[in-house]
């Protein structure tokens, strides 16, 4: 709700100056970083940077060899793939009280349902890409109000539009966080009609000269007695189609207890208390490699950026050298040189250079560096692999050897991914923080029964969830299997259990078979389980097992023979 506390709001100009001062400090503190991020982005897109100007002057070949992109795309599945399968739960809610054991299962189902309807895995791809490329990534967690269903909203933010308090080393300790965006005037006018923004008519005439704006009755910063907690949620993209070529810069300034929106660095659109019950800035931050006491982290590209430039230079030199061996040049005496205007040393096919030589035409000798360049390229590849932990097994380029057993290959892959253990744990901790924030929003906004869909190996069911099921606090555990090794081990253990307990009357054979099929990710299990698994015949002298069909008692052999 927008506040009428004059100590908080004061006047519009004060708010503009206050937010502008903090934005300028945050922007100035990361000015050099932004330039680095721009270069890293170019390297990822296989574009030459300004740092290669000298190499461009020396080499005629100007190819780009995608070492950076290969490294990022090889590491990406470790972080992205585990969240793309919404049917396999990666979240488990743990109760803090004994009375919440059943509710913990309900919370788990609710959070997995949210990952499905929010398309969590796909929406998180930009987050993980920036996490790897730049070493820092932000995601925004809000609530999306829709006509029929209300759900949390997950948005990966563009790092270039995120401005963190430069005196903080993490988001929790930061005094403020600013998200920058650019919108058209149509969007702001619609938000004003919704009662979300005010003062839209004060934005410069360059944006709204061709627009028909409505009369605004309330031009104060304070919008009275109106709950605007939906003012900071994301709308459907279809609601924000631009008809203008001019976009307006918006600052969304957050502290733990309030949020302020500034347009065009001069107009206050809203100023309100934090609408969320968790009382935090609605963002989650993750750093790939921690730079102690610094606000931003270190990504995979930073340590190999210079190696990418060296790769380009050495490989292009080798190509030039090969071209020189194919396209011969010659020297000749000046008397045979007809076109003196071409007297410059630039290599070109069949070019002739006039000299003081007495010979009419002599092939120009060149130094071949193909072997040297190829050797340097191999050395650079090893250094890149060492710097970022990308092995041939991870990249899928290792040459198969017939005498190497499968378990040895799996061990190599497992060892290769150990370099990513710490970044992955950091990322999973961020995911846990996201879902704790989502769970808090569900407590705040789920005021009635909600029906959720549950997916389980192709089977679909529905469950009713009530506010009382989620009212208490739960701990969350995130478990993923990026390389598939855990799943392989689970399948092996399940197969062993099937063989070990086959026919065991103390084990429910139907349930054992079902769990084995689940371990192997078999879909539509219920359709396969049409018959109950037969029970093994009871061994002579074995007592009846409760819950199992009674077996006829057999006479011990001793009694049959008249013994005892």
Q: Cite the beta strand spans of 184-282 per DSSP E.
A: 248-255, 258-263, 267-273
The answer to whether the CB of 505 falls within 8 A of the CB of 538 is: yes
What gap in Å lies between CA 166 and CA 88, rounded to an integer? 39
pTM for the whole structure: 0.75
Q: Cite the beta strand spans of 290-399 per DSSP E.
A: 330-333, 352-355, 362-363
Q: Residue 477: beta bridge partners?
A: 92
Cα Rg, the chain, nearest whole Å: 33
What's the pLDDT score for residue 39? 95
The answer to whether the CB of 369 falls within 8 A of the CB of 320 is: no
What's the pLDDT score for residue 62? 86
What's the pLDDT score for residue 560? 46
Burial class (CB in 10 A: 0-12, 13-18, 19+), 491: middle
Please choose, from the candidates 164, 199, 165, 158, the residue with its C-alpha nearest in 3D space to the C-alpha of residue 181. Answer: 158
Cα–Cα–Cα angle for 265, 267, 272, rounded to 5 degrees: 110
What's the pLDDT score for residue 253? 98
The answer to whether the CB of 91 falls within 8 A of the CB of 476 is: yes
Tens-level pLDDT at each residue, the chain (564 residues): 344 444 444 588 999 999 999 999 999 999 889 999 999 999 999 998 877 666 566 777 888 999 999 999 999 999 999 898 766 789 999 999 999 999 999 999 999 999 999 999 999 999 999 999 999 999 999 998 776 668 899 999 999 999 999 999 999 999 999 999 999 999 999 999 989 999 999 987 555 544 433 333 333 333 322 333 343 443 333 333 334 458 999 999 999 999 999 999 999 999 999 999 999 999 999 999 999 999 999 999 999 999 999 888 888 888 887 777 766 666 666 655 544 445 444 445 445 555 666 665 566 666 666 566 667 878 888 899 888 887 766 666 655 555 666 656 666 666 666 778 899 999 999 999 999 999 999 999 998 999 999 887 677 899 999 999 999 999 999 988 765 556 666 777 778 888 888 888 888 888 878 777 777 767 666 666 665 555 545 555 555 544 444 444 444 444 444 444
| Cβ neighbours of 276 (radius 10 Å) | 20
What's the pLDDT score for residue 189? 93
Residue 517 to residues 89, 122, 401, Cα–Cα distance (Å):
16, 27, 32
- How many residues can be counted in the chain? 564
The residue whose two tokens read 């290599």 is 347
Please choose, from the candidates 486, 485, 483, 490, the residue with its C-alpha nearest in 3D space to the C-alpha of residue 520. Answer: 490
Q: Can you tell me whether residue 357 is helix, strand or coil?
A: coil
């Amino acid at each position: 709700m927008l506040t009428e506390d004059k100590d908080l709001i004061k006047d519009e100009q004060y708010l503009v100056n206050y937010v502008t001062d903090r934005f300028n400090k945050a922007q100035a503190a990361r000015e050099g970083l932004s330039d680095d991020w721009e270069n890293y982005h170019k390297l990822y897109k296989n574009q030459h940077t300004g740092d290669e100007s000298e190499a461009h002057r020396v080499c005629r070949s100007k190819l780009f060899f995608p070492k950076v992109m290969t490294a990022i795309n090889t590491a990406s599945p470790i972080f992205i793939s585990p969240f793309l399968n919404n049917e396999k739960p990666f979240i488990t809610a743990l109760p803090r009280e004994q009375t919440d054991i059943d509710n913990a299962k309900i919370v788990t189902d609710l959070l997995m349902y949210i990952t499905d309807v929010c398309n969590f895995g796909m929406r998180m791809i930009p987050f993980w890409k920036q996490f790897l490329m730049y070493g820092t990534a932000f995601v925004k967690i809000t609530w999306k109000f829709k006509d029929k269903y209300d759900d949390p909203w997950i948005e990966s933010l563009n790092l270039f539009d995120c401005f963190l308090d430069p005196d903080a080393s993490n988001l929790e300790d930061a005094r403020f966080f600013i998200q920058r965006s650019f919108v058209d005037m149509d969007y702001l006018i619609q938000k004003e009609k919704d009662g979300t923004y005010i003062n839209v008519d004060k934005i410069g005439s360059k944006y709204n000269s061709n627009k028909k704006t409505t009369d605004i009755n309330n031009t104060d910063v304070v919008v009275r007695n109106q709950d605007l907690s939906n003012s900071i949620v994301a709308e459907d993209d279809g609601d924000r189609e631009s008809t203008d070529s001019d976009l307006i810069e918006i600052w969304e300034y957050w502290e733990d207890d309030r949020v302020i929106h500034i347009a065009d660095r001069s107009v206050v659109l809203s100023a309100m208390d934090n609408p969320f019950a968790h009382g935090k800035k609605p963002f989650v931050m993750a750093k790939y490699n921690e730079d102690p006491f610094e606000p931003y982290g270190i990504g995979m590209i930073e340590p190999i950026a210079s190696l990418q430039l060296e790769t380009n230079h050495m490989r292009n030199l080798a190509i030039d050298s090969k071209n020189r061996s194919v396209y011969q040049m010659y020297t000749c005496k000046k008397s045979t040189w007809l076109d003196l205007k071409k007297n410059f040393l630039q290599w070109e096919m069949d070019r002739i250079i006039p000299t003081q030589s007495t010979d009419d035409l002599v092939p120009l000798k060149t130094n071949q560096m193909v072997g040297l360049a190829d050797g340097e390229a191999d050395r650079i590849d090893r250094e890149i692999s060492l710097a970022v932990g990308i092995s041939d097994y991870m990249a899928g380029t290792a040459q198969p050897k017939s005498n190497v057993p499968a378990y040895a290959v799996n061990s190599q892959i497992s060892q290769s991914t150990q370099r990513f253990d710490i970044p992955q744990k950091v990322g999973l901790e961020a995911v846990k923080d996201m879902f704790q924030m989502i769970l808090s929003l569900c407590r705040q906004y789920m005021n009635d029964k909600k029906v959720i869909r549950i997916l389980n190996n192709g089977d679909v069911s529905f469950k009713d969830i009530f506010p009382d099921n989620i009212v208490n606090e739960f701990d969350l555990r995130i478990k993923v299997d990026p390389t598939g090794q855990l799943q392989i081990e689970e399948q092996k253990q399940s197969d062993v259990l099937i063989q070990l307990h086959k026919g065991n009357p103390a084990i429910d054979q139907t349930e054992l078979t079902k769990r084995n099929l689940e371990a192997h990710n078999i879909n539509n299990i219920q359709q396969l389980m049409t018959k109950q698994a037969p029970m093994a015949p009871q061994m002579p002298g074995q007592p009846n097992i409760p819950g199992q069909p009674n077996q006829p008692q057999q006479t011990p052999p001793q009694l049959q023979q008249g013994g005892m």
